[in-house]
Amino acid sequence: MLRVVLVHPQIPPNTGNIARTCAATGTELHLVGPLGFEISDRYLKRAGLDYWPYVKLQYHESIDSFKAIHQELGGRWIGFSTGGQYNYIQFQFETNDWLLFGCETKGLPADILGDCGATVFIPMSETGVRSLNLSVSAAVGLFEAKRQLGYLA
């Protein structure tokens, strides 16, 4: 099963929007702390609307606690980064992949990128634009992985 992982997210509405996307697609959402907000944040709840009961949410206090869960469940870490190795469309996703996204201001830390089985990027035409919004990137990456695996039928 595909999983979306947000490492140190900072902006509650982005996380809420991603939670909503995960709810709609039946995808687990893993949040790795420290977070830039409280889970009870009203902006987080508002962005997720009334879909929170459908979100398969897992919270990990640290990257080490997250690594322990990953080790137990297996699968590849696929890091999304503007400096990724592979175009996300040309990359072959697998059923048990964990799609990792970093915080809005810094992306994934270098040590976590180094632990990834692969890193992918979402191409952008305008070179002056540094990155896409986190919730957009997560949705684009998740839907491409699901499309490749035949989960959108």
Q: Classify residue 31 by burial, with Cβ atoms within 10 Å: 0-12, 13-18, 19+.
A: buried
CB 26 within 8 A of CB 143: no
Please tell me whether 102 is known to bind a ligand: yes
Q: Is 84 part of any known ligand binding site?
A: no
- State yes or no: 131 annotated in a binding site: yes
CA-wise closest residue to 5 among 115, 142, 152 = 142
Annotated binding-site ranges: 102, 122, 131
Binding site for S-adenosyl-L-methionine, by residue number, is 102, 122, 131
